[in-house]
Amino acid sequence: MDLGLQGRKAIVTGGGRGIGRWITKTLLEEGCSVAICGRTQSNVDETVEEFSSIGTIYGASVDVTDAERFQSWIGEAAGQLGGLDLVVLNAAIQPSGDDDATWELTFQSDVMQAVRAVRAARPFLAESDGGAIVLISSTTALSPTTGPGQTA
């Protein structure tokens, strides 16, 4: 498949496992250089090692709920890649419970990740001739729940 991404530079949050891992692989196969982050260094390292034969990939252990580190990493990743054309926000937590701490963590992961990524990536994307941001969500938005990670 040719998605017209040859030579583009992309960031994928949560790129070390699950859907993010396969988004990363697809972008690499399409000719993108990719920077990934994830909370678990071993997942990031394994993905970088496995996919480095496909194309240019850079990875770091970053928790998207750590505002300062996450925004700093976006700048670092854009520097490593030589620019930025695409940001794929895929990282998410799997919360359990209905207490304030769980709601706050979910908000930091799901909502503030997007706010902070847009803020940090905007200057780099403005220099691209086709900058884009993709937000991955779950079907939870369509299903009734009683709280984060719970179904009604």
Q: What are 55-109's pLDDT values in tens digits? A: 999 999 999 999 999 999 999 999 999 999 999 999 988 877 888 998 899 899 9
25-30 mean pLDDT: 97
Examine residue 148 and state whether it is found in any structural domain, yes or no: no
How far apart, in whole angstroms, are the C-alpha atoms of residue 131 and residue 122? 9
Strand partners, 13: 37
CB atoms within 10 A of CB 142: 7
Q: Does residue 3 sit within a domain?
A: no
Q: Check if the beta carbon of residue 102 is closer than 8 Å to that of residue 149.
A: yes
In a domain, 114, yes or no: yes
CB of 55 closer than 8 Å to CB of 28: yes
DSSP for residue 112: I
Residue 129, C-beta contacts closer than 8 angstroms, at least 6 positions apart: none
Q: Is residue 34 in a domain? A: yes
Tokens of 49: 């090692």
Q: Binning pLDDT at 50, 70 and 90, where does residue 150 land?
A: low
Residue 149 lies in a domain: no
What is the chain's length? 152
Give the count of domains, the chain: 1
Structural domain includes residue 79:
yes
* Domain of residue 16, residue span: 9-142
Q: Given strand 132-135, what is the order of strands in its sheet?
A: 57-61, 33-38, 9-13, 86-89, 132-135
Q: What is the CATH number of the domain that holds 28?
A: 3.40.50.720
Q: Quote the pTM value.
A: 0.90
CB 75 within 8 A of CB 63: no
Question: What is residue 41's predicted lDDT score, i.e. its pLDDT?
Answer: 95
Domain contains 147: no
Q: Which residue has the higher pLDDT, 44 or 92?
A: 44
**Does the residue 2 lie in any domain?**
no
- The 10s digit of each residue's pLDDT in 99-137 is 899 889 989 998 999 999 999 999 999 999 999 999 998
